[in-house]
Amino acid sequence: MNRALRFLPLLVLIAFVGAVAWRLSSPADQKIPSKMIGQPVPTFALAPAIPGRQGLSSADFSSGRPRLINVFASWCVPCIAEAPLLTELKHRGLPIDAIAVRDRPEDVAAFIERNGDPFDRIGADPESQVQLALGSSGVPETFVIDGRGVVRYQHMGPIEPGDVAMIVQEWEAAK
């Protein structure tokens, strides 16, 4: 018994490492899965986030072609990180609209100036109302909306290089 006991702390450690390794390999599902998938986008009409550009309204999503909505803000650091990937999606032929959350026109303009402008329309959502109505509670988030205005996919958090192919697939599937 004496000998075996010496290895007891080691066993506790192995159990701990096992549990943590499991968590690392299957990250916690902390999100409530999107409630919006399969639902039509809520009715909204947003003023342009930058003077002279087009604003965004729910009517823009019944054109028959699937589109992306990117929910972002100029004060959001991860949004900078994903900006080049949005530009890449644009080059692959995915039309993208944006909602700028709690933002000022001059800041949005500066953000686009610096990080590229893949957006067809940019709506301003100063009170986060449309953002919340879309079931998004943070930035950035990206939605795939099909040609009839139904949400097909919701991507929470920044798009990472590995996600691009998946988003293109979701978009193809929404056609």
Partner 1 sequence: MIAEAGLAALWLAAALAALQLALACGLGGDQGRRISTVRALALSQGLLTLFAFGALIFLFLRSDMSVLLVFENSHSQKPWLYKFAGTWGNHEGSMLLWVAVLAVAGAIVALFERRLGERTLSAALGAQAALALGFFAFLLFASNPFERLSPAPLDGRGLNPLLQDPGLAFHPPTLYLGYVGLSVAFSLAVGGLVRSEVGPAIARAMRPWVLGAWILLTLGITAGSYWAYYELGWGGWWFWDPVENASLMPWLAATALLHSINVLAARGGLRAWTMMLALIAFSLSMIGTFLVRSGILTSVHAFAVDPTRGTFILCLLALYIGGALTLFAVRIAHVKEGAPFEIVSREGGLVANNLLLSAILGIVFVGTLYPLIAEASSGEKLSVGAPYFNSVASPLALLLAGLMLIAPQLKWRRDAAPILPRLAPGLLVALAVLITSFILAPQIGWLPRLGLSIGAALLPASLLPLFGRSLRRTPLAVWGMALAHFGVAVAILGMASDSAFTEEKLAVARLGDRIEIGPWLVEFRDVTPVAGPNWSALEAELRASRGLGVTILEPQSRFFAEPPTTTNEAAIDTSWNGQLYAVLGEQDGQGRWQLRLWWKPFVTLIWLGGILIALGGTLALLGRLTRERRQRILGEEAFA
Partner 2 sequence: MMVRPKHQRLVLLILAVTALIGAVLFAMWGLQDRAAYFVTPSDIAAGKTAPGKSMRLGGMVVKGSLKRNPDGLTIRFAVSDTKAETAVVYRGITPDLFREGSGVVAEGRLGPGGLFIADTILAKHDERYMPPQMANQ
In the complex, what is the shortest distance from the CB of residue 65 to partner 1, in angstroms, rounded to a whole number? 30
Residue 155, amino acid: H
The neighbouring-strand residues paired with 68 are 96, 144
Run of H or E including 132: helix 129-133
Q: Which does 32 bind (CB under 5 to 8 A by kind): partner 1, partner 2, none?
A: partner 2
**Out of 17, 47, 126, 137, which residue is the one contacting partner 2 (CB under 8 A)?**
137
In the complex, what is the shortest distance from the CB of residue 97 to partner 1, in angstroms, rounded to a whole number? 22
What does residue 48 show for φ and ψ, rounded to 5 degrees? -60, 145
Binding mask 54-83 for partner 2 (x = CB under 8 A): ----------------------xxx--x--
- The Cα–Cα gap between 13 and 19 comes to 10
Q: Is 22 in the site for partner 1 (CB under 8 A)?
A: yes
Q: Applying CB under 8 A, what is the total number of residues that bind partner 1?
A: 30
Torsion of CA 46, 50, 53, 55, to 10 degrees: 0
Q: Is 135 in the site for partner 2 (CB under 8 A)?
A: yes
The neighbouring-strand residues paired with 155 are 142
Residues of the shown chain interacting with partner 1 in the complex, contacts defined by CB under 8 A: 6-7, 9-10, 13-25, 27-28, 30-31, 73, 75-77, 80, 102, 156-158
